[in-house]
Every structure is written in C-alpha cells, then in structure tokens.
Chain A
Amino acid sequence: MDKEKEKEKLTIVMFSGDLDRALAGFMLATTGASMGMDVNMYFTFWGLDILKKNDGRIRSKGILRKALHFIDRGGPSRLRLSNFHLFGLGTRAMRRLMKESKVPTIEQFITMAQEMGVKMIPCNTTCKVMGLPEDAFRDGISPMAGAAFFLGEARKSQVVLFI
C-alpha cells in the first residue's frame, strides 16, 4: 500500500470461455486487486465470450463469421461448464449451487473487478479474425491490444497466469 513503491502486477490470459475457468480467473483477479496488485486481464479466443454483451446481434461480414456468432453467441449469462454441462442441466445446477453459496455470478464479478480497477483487454487479432467489433463488448473495457503489449506487461508482472 506504499504509494512510493511501484505496485506489483498480476497478468492473466483468459483463453477459455468456460464458466468454471472464467470464475477462477475473476476470483484471482479480484483477490489480486484486493491485495493491492495492478491487474490486467487479456481476453483471447473463447475468452472473448466473457466480455461480449448478453444481448443483441453481433454484426460482422462473411458467412463463416455469421455462422460462428450464431453458434457461439457468447455473453456471461451463456457460458457453460467445461465439464458436466449435460445439455445445460449441469450448468444450470452449478449456477444454482453457486447462488446458494453466495458466490457472485460472472456478471457481478466483472462489475466488481471493474470497480476495483482491473483492466480488461481484448486481443485485437482474434477480434479481427472472428469479426468482433468493439460494440460487441460490454462498456468499460480497455482498448484492444496485441501480443507485444501483453508481453510488455507480462515481463513486468510478478504473477502471470494462462487460464
């Protein structure tokens, strides 16, 4: 908490769009911020699903991208468990158990993390490849950035995680 001292950094790559992995990422991000760390989360590939808005159509060009967004719409309320999804039953059961245990939802974790100053950065290459415009994502996230920006942050970080 010494302001003279440079803050320690935590950098997390969010590669997966699985509900359980997203939770693990946000638990560590919010805890890191609570411990006075400067936290950066990089979202790439399926991890971008976590940052997508829950509603509205994603506009993009080309049949392949349209098909991709149709099959994989994303948004925190649509994430699935990596295991025991069971056509939705397993995921629904897990959400209920988490609610009963007062574990915040992904949506709540994102808001909490933003309030704590956690930066969320979408990877620009995967956004371009998948045809994801900036307005596909929720408000309050950082501008898109690439691998060099990530590595620049990672080499200054005490903790780097790939989830």
Chain B
Amino acid sequence: MKADQSLDCMGLYCPMPIVRTAERIKKLKVGEVLEVLSDDQGIKQDMPAWCESTGNEYLGEEENGAEIKVYVRKTQD
C-alpha cells in the first residue's frame, strides 16, 4: 500500500505506537495516509480501535514476518 508518511515504531510496546501515531497524524494533511511499522502484535487490535475513537480511517495491515505495517488515512483536522 502506498503511504504519504511512515512512522517507525519497531521495538516499542503498547501504548507507545498509539501515542506516537496520535502525535504524527497531526503533521499529515486530510486525505493523506500514514504507515506505521511495528513488531508489536497488539497493534492489529489497537490501531483499528484508535481509528474508531478518533474518526480516522483504518485501511488495513500488511505482515511480513515479524514486521507489521498498518495504514491509517487522516479524515479530519
């Protein structure tokens, strides 16, 4: 999947990937896609939940071995 920005959260556990995502998403324009790299399995449950609460769009995940990429589209400022 193509992303406008990428955030490396490898080696970080909950809640850090979510906290960093919330910080970074502020730097995106509405409609842009953020890719978050993580090796924490929890992110597959946490990121959709974060998107639901904040109103951003969860686009899905890609797994490659231990590396998980999740994609979020910013829907509002």
Contact = CB atoms under 8 A, between A and B. Distances in A.
Given A1-B54, A1-B55, A2-B76, A34 B13 contact: no
Contacts of B15: 27-28, 30-31, 34
Interface size class of B (residues with CB under 8 A): 10 to 19
A102 B12 contact: yes
A104 interface: yes
Contacts of B54: 1, 35-36
A37 B77 CA distance: 15
Given A102-B12, A102-B13, A2 B55 contact: yes
A interface SS class: loop
A33 B19 CA distance: 8
Interface string B1-40: 0000000000111111011011100000000000000000
Interface in A2-29: 2, 8, 27-28
Interface residues of A, number: 18
B53 interface: yes
Interface of A: 1-2, 8, 27-28, 30-31, 33-37, 101-104, 112, 116
Interface of B: 11-16, 18-19, 21-23, 50, 53-56, 76-77
